[in-house]
Structure 1
Amino acid sequence: MELSHYPQINPPPRLLMGPGPINADPRVLRAMSSQLLGQYDPAMTHYMNEVMALYRGVFRTENRWTLLIDGTSRAGIEAILLSAIRPGDKVLVPVFGRFGHLLCEIARRCRAEVHTIEVPWGEVFTPDRIEDAIKAVRPRLLLTVQGDTSTTMLQPLNELGAICKKYGVLFYTDATASLAGNVLETDAWGLDAVSAGMQKCLGGPSGTSPITLSPQMEAAIRRRKCVEQGIRTADHQQGEEEMIWSNYFDLGMIMDYWGPERLNHHTEATSALFGARECARLILEEGLEKGIARHQLHGDALLKGIQGMGLEVFGDLQHKMSNVLGVVIPKGINGDQVRHLMLEDFGIEIGTSFGPLHGRVWRIGTMGYNARKACVMTTLSALESVLTHLGYQTTQGAAMQLAWDRYAQENG
């Protein structure tokens, strides 16, 4: 093997302004370069306990079981669904984008009876629509996405917890793209389980998934664990089918590893845990509310700039995520060519979309460490330059001026 073909890793500099991942905060990268520890070193287990405490603040919860799943945000989703869903359980999924379909796919792999309701991409559900579906289906679980980056829409959740409690339904949401950039109140909204991802508003690299579980969700998971161990419980429906088929994603075992028992399950990803700890520490140091307001400010400035270029914005703006904007690609413009020029000539990455929106919209993110004025202004300037180069007619400087005006309102 000729090692000259494999030089030291030296990635090109990029400004990641798509729907995620984003550029990690340098302080997070420094934390991740710390020396390794053994998984049962008292210093390591102390850091694990700190992570649990810090993420309770981020999730706005008192839940004891607030911890990390080693794996990307999808690992957190799978751990919760695999551990909570019993074969044959009815689940209801309100689908308003690509990631609602993902929840359906994972639930089907758990052998759930999946029921869906749908709205056109770019819209969200009213609480009444979801309550009507719950009354009709009588599911055991409601599986929701809070912020779906495929459509840039933010589903209101604040009234759903009371509805779920009324009908005895466990309430889960995927907050991968929304947590820490949009309001999410785990306890106040009656959520039983939430999962997230590091590579969006939390400001870190992909690779760990923070989750939180209510006592009700913990009890449901523990009952399945009892069945696995051959212990009969009052609601035990006999049959090996109740076993959780994944060892790695078995939350009963993972809780025993994170709890005082420290029962061996896996070797904790030390560097990733250090990074996740620093993400949460920085969010709480800034103040969760201030961080959410920061995401809103820079999302607003981007929106004003895009509108100043004469570009159409996708979806219902009243229910838009603060941290991702869908921009309709103008007629006569090759969207992929724009993205290529942005990347190659300016070092800026923006996103395309999925399914029915593929090739129709760009998705531009302002989240985490990249929710900053310099990132917004640089992206607007580069996009305006590329579009002008390709023949799109716009008033030069209008986008930048409207973004400046939005920042001036905040400072005034």
Structure 2
Amino acid sequence: MSNYKELSPSLRTIMTPGPVEVDPRVLRALSFPILGQFDPEFTSLMNETMAMLRELYMTDNEWCYPVDGTSRSGIEAVLVSLIQPGDKVLVPIYGRFGHLLVEISERCGAEVVFFETEWGTVFDPEEVIKAIHAHKPSLVAMVHGETSTGQMQPLAEIGKACRDLDILLAVDAVATIGGTPVETDAWHLDAVMGGTQKCLSVPSGMAPLTYNSRVEKKLMSRKTVERGLRDATSARAEGRTIASNYFDLSQLQDYWSSARLNHHTEATSMLYGLHEGLRILLQEGLEARFQRHLVNERALVAGIQGMGLQLYGDMSSKLPVVTCITIPEGIDGESVRSMLLNDFSIEIASSFGPLKGQIWRIGTMGFSCQRKNVLHVLGALEAVLLRHRHVLPAGEAVQAALDVYAGKEGALC
């Protein structure tokens, strides 16, 4: 007889940069009966998901579909599929996830050129464009929203420069998609990779992405079967095949096309969740959703400042869905996080690398991005800091946030 207890996870208020709370309608969709992956009812669901992703990514691209796996799987799929050994890849880094782009590119055999700016800031687009002209890469890989530093990189000028020079631009938009505009076509982005567990409020497990005909042309140039190559060993040696089978976008697009060529067994329940998350997002409307994220961010920032705490990073390039706070001198940041979790069931995040132990990060993403959550985390953080004998103006944080909501009449919160 089994002694294992029935699963019963604690109910948390999750205010991290991901994962975030999941809309109950998405959780319900995850429990729906399984359909076969080639059942016409299921393939119709696949087509609808692609159509909704086009709206989300603001693109006319034919190819908008999810890769089965966490958000990193989409990043890896794009880079593995595009990079051939010896290709020059340029990566401007302004936080932890720029280093991830470097690592994956190096694993693909690329000649990687990277340069960094101070964490807590972003690049002047002209600085990136100057580097593009100097190094003439075949691919530029950039992060749109860095959750590690709470910063967001402007991309429109960089995208135009890449397009003018016929250089591909791949963008990690995992943190931004669904929470702030990601204008794929207007900004001339060739490939954009997202995730489900942040602003889409779907559990981690899928990586929706999009890419254009310029990317598809590169993919097709590496398909040895369609090129009629007889010597597959020689083709691999010359880098004309794609290193990964599972993350081969040319095979994945055949699976998502009308041909439905079998590549893998689709994650049926996860697709239900993504479909429902996208439906909910588009029902709310992109502009209304972006505005909701902005209003709750402003309320959170006002509350943090009302508490007398210092925000971390350049406010002119702040990522609107993540707020970074400098941990006050003499305060044990992990002790504060632990008390928030154990006494208030609220989770906020620490950070990585040079910022570990220096800042807290609070996410206002997707379903977690609600007025009640913002007020709850502000009240709880104030109480915990007082408990840690930090002197602050008691009561001012929540009042400052309420002032922001009163100014907007609470219509979108």
Interval containing the TM-score (normalised by the shorter chain): over 0.9
Verify: 1:401 aligned to 2:409, yes or no. no
- In structure 1, what is the equivalent of residue 136 of structure 2? 138
Q: Deviation string for 1:25-63 (max 9, x for gaps)?
A: 111111111100001000010000000000000000011
Q: Distance in 2 between matches of 1:391 and 1:239?
A: 64
Sequence identity of aligned pairs in percent?
Answer: 50
Structure-to-structure mapping, 1:160-309, within 5 angstroms: 160-226=158-224, 230-231=228-229, 239-309=237-307
Aligned-partner residue type, residue 268 of structure 1: E
What's the CA shift for 1:230?
4.0
What's the CA shift for 1:222?
1.3
Aligned-partner residue type, residue 17 of structure 1: M
Q: Deviation string for 1:174-216 (max 9, x for gaps)?
A: 0001111111100111110001011111111100010001111
Aligned-partner residue type, residue 60 of structure 2: E
Q: Distance in 1 between matches of 2:29 and 2:99?
A: 35
Structure-to-structure mapping, 1:7-406, within 5 angstroms: 7-226=5-224, 230-231=228-229, 239-406=237-404
Q: Distance in 2 between matches of 1:105 and 1:396?
A: 46
Q: Distance in 2 between matches of 1:158 and 1:287?
A: 23
Is the CA contact 1:257–1:264 (under 8 Å) kept in the aligned structure 2? yes
Q: SS of the counterpart of 2:350?
A: coil
Q: Distance in 2 between matches of 1:292 and 1:136?
A: 36
Q: SS of the counterpart of 2:381?
A: helix
Q: SS of the counterpart of 2:278?
A: helix
- In structure 2, what is the equivalent of residue 3 of structure 1? 2
Q: Deviation string for 1:361-393 (max 9, x for gaps)?
A: 000011100111000000000000000011011
Is the CA contact 1:117–1:133 (under 8 Å) kept in the aligned structure 2? no
Is the CA contact 1:17–1:370 (under 8 Å) kept in the aligned structure 2? yes
Aligned-partner residue type, residue 70 of structure 1: D
Is the CA contact 1:228–1:243 (under 8 Å) kept in the aligned structure 2? no
Q: Distance in 2 between matches of 1:263 and 1:196?
A: 24
Is the CA contact 2:83–2:105 (under 8 Å) kept in the aligned structure 1? yes
Q: Distance in 1 between matches of 2:96 and 2:189?
A: 22
Is the CA contact 1:123–1:316 (under 8 Å) kept in the aligned structure 2? yes
Aligned-partner residue type, residue 40 of structure 1: F
Q: SS of the counterpart of 1:248?
A: coil
What's the CA shift for 1:227?
6.6
What's the CA shift for 1:242?
2.4
Structure 2 residue runs without a partner (length 5+): none
Q: Distance in 2 between matches of 1:247 and 1:160?
A: 31
TM-score by length of 2: 0.96
Q: Distance in 1 between matches of 2:6 and 2:53?
A: 35
Q: Distance in 1 between matches of 2:242 and 2:91?
A: 21
What's the CA shift for 1:275?
0.5
What's the CA shift for 1:226?
3.6
Q: Distance in 2 between matches of 1:357 and 1:246?
A: 34
Structure 1 residue runs without a partner (length 5+): none
Q: SS of the counterpart of 1:391?
A: coil
Aligned-partner residue type, residue 85 of structure 1: I
What's the CA shift for 1:228?
7.7
Is the CA contact 1:96–1:119 (under 8 Å) kept in the aligned structure 2? yes
Q: SS of the counterpart of 2:186?
A: coil
Q: Distance in 1 between matches of 2:267 and 2:290?
A: 28
Q: Distance in 2 between matches of 1:29 and 1:229?
A: 44
Aligned-partner residue type, residue 185 of structure 1: E
Q: Distance in 2 between matches of 1:393 and 1:152?
A: 26
Is the CA contact 1:66–1:212 (under 8 Å) kept in the aligned structure 2? yes
Q: Distance in 2 between matches of 1:290 and 1:159?
A: 26
Aligned-partner residue type, residue 382 of structure 1: A
What's the CA shift for 1:241?
2.5
Is the CA contact 2:81–2:243 (under 8 Å) kept in the aligned structure 1? no
What's the CA shift for 1:126?
1.1
What's the CA shift for 1:239?
4.1
Q: Distance in 2 between matches of 1:171 and 1:89?
A: 14
Is the CA contact 1:228–1:242 (under 8 Å) kept in the aligned structure 2? no
Q: Deviation string for 1:96-137 (max 9, x for gaps)?
A: 000000000000011111001210000101111011100111
What's the CA shift for 1:351?
0.1
Q: Distance in 2 between matches of 1:258 and 1:19?
A: 30
Q: Distance in 2 between matches of 1:149 and 1:127?
A: 20
Q: Return closer, same or farther for 1:227/1:135 CA change in 2, 3 Å cut-off.
A: farther
Number of residue equivalences: 407
Q: Deviation string for 1:325-360 (max 9, x for gaps)?
A: 000000110000000000000000000000000000
TM-score by length of 1: 0.97
Range that drifts further, 221-230 or 295-304: 221-230
